[in-house]
Amino acid sequence: MLLAVSIGGTALLYAAVVLLDPFATGRLTPTSHFDVTIEKRMFAHAGRVRNPAFDAAVIGNSRGFALETRRLSAASGRTFTHLTQEATFAGDQLKMAQLFVAARAGRSAMIVHVIDDGVWCNPARGTTAYKMPWWLYERSDLQYLRNIFSADSLRAAALRVSMLLGLRPRNALRSDGYALWLPRDTAELRQEMLRAPRPKNVAAVDAPFPNLDDLARTLQGFDAAVEVVLFMPPVFAGALPVAGSPAEARLAACKARVAAIVAARPNTAFVDALTDRESVRNPNNFIDATHYLDPVAVEVEGGIVAAVRQLAR
């Protein structure tokens, strides 16, 4: 009897999780809301990718976290969502871009892709250190059913029940995915940033850019009407390459390759914020050398909005 109750109870719980669709995938469920029930971006993004309320997305790794999607939306006329994901490499970022565009086939779509120098200027392809749950976004329903029953899905399903019953507001977590990363050890990270030497030597200037080659192929595969802004994010001034060094030459070559990708495709723009200016010389505007705070974010968002408006003409 105990075994029968255990098996039956587990089966009912499993069925409830599937029907509640805790990550708003739209699969095998009667519910149609795009509730955000989990803070983990890689799960919550499954609903954002398919949510028709968003016609624009910020895609990249944590170096795009500080971009405020509400400000971008208000200033550009687009409705932005965050599809950024910490510590992802080029392959997973491009996959996210493809999914977002595919979900808007036949409709207007825009991507602001964060092209950080650490990933995209690298002479070798990298791999994200953890496995993205792409079974949530695509592939067969059978693969989805094999993976959906987990501790994360149980917690998210319970939260969705409380939302459906009106016990918890549906907007407890921002639907657009904006959530600024503010680590507890910011002061220590900032001190490390100030102590670090400026880069002098990196890969050879003429070394390949395989990640940018992959980016070019992906963008060429999109419908020409899809608007794309390639955004190179800022760093603390002390992390910029030494003037005249091989590192500076390599960065210039990387930027030139990005510019060539933009020139080869319609409805594409390049916003280069990886430059030296007053705002990036203030260490209080950064968490660490590569993660900027709101004063810098507001400034660079102006360049992004200008590019978005220019593409809309």
pLDDT at residue 164, as a whole number: 87
pLDDT in tens, 237-260: 999 999 999 999 999 999 999 999
Is residue 257 a contact partner of residue 205, using CB atoms and an 8 Å limit? no
Q: How far apart are CA 78 and CA 118, in angstroms?
A: 28
What's 280's domain CATH number? 3.40.50.1110
Which of 54-58, 139-143, 148-152, 210-214 shows the lowest per-residue confidence on average (mean pLDDT)?
139-143
In the chain, the number of structural domains is 1
Give the mean model confidence (pLDDT) for residues 253-281. Answer: 98
Q: What are phi and psi of 236, to 5 degrees?
A: -60, 140
170 within a domain of the structure (yes/no): no
Q: Which domain holds residue 292?
A: 40-131+175-312
pLDDT at 139 over 80: no
Which of 105-114, 180-189, 217-226 shows the lowest per-residue confidence on average (mean pLDDT)?
180-189
Q: State the pLDDT confidence band at 286, using cuts at 50, 70 and 90.
A: very high
11 within a domain of the structure (yes/no): no
pLDDT at residue 91, as a whole number: 98
Give the mean model confidence (pLDDT) for residues 199-216. Answer: 95
| H or E segment and range at residue 114 | strand 110-114
pLDDT at residue 170, as a whole number: 85
| CA dihedral for 101, 104, 108, 114, sign (positive or negative) | negative
Show the tokens assigned to 29.
């469920």
270 within a domain of the structure (yes/no): yes
160 within a domain of the structure (yes/no): no
Which residues, 6 or more positions from 111, have their beta carbon under 8 angstroms from its beta carbon?
A: 56, 57, 59, 97, 100, 101, 226, 227, 228, 229
12 within a domain of the structure (yes/no): no
pLDDT in tens, 151-161: 999 999 999 99
Q: How far apart are CA 157 and CA 159, in angstroms?
A: 5
Q: How far apart are CA 106 and CA 103, in angstroms?
A: 9
Q: How far apart are CA 213 and CA 97, in angstroms?
A: 15
Beta bridge partners of 165: none
pLDDT at 7 over 90: no
Which of 7-16, 214-223, 238-247 shows the lowest per-residue confidence on average (mean pLDDT)?
7-16
pLDDT at 86 over 90: yes
pLDDT at 5 over 80: no
Q: How far apart are CA 215 and CA 227, in angstroms?
A: 14
181 within a domain of the structure (yes/no): yes
86 within a domain of the structure (yes/no): yes
pLDDT at residue 172, as a whole number: 84
200 within a domain of the structure (yes/no): yes
pLDDT at 3 over 90: no
pLDDT at residue 71, as a whole number: 98
Average pLDDT in the chain: 95
3-state class (DSSP) for residue 185: coil
Is residue 117 a contact partner of residue 232, using CB atoms and an 8 Å limit? yes
Query: What percent of the chain stands above pLDDT 90?
Result: 89
pLDDT at 88 over 80: yes
pLDDT at residue 15, as a whole number: 95
Which of 1-5, 151-155, 166-170, 179-183 shows the lowest per-residue confidence on average (mean pLDDT)?
1-5
Give the mean model confidence (pLDDT) for residues 286-295. Answer: 97
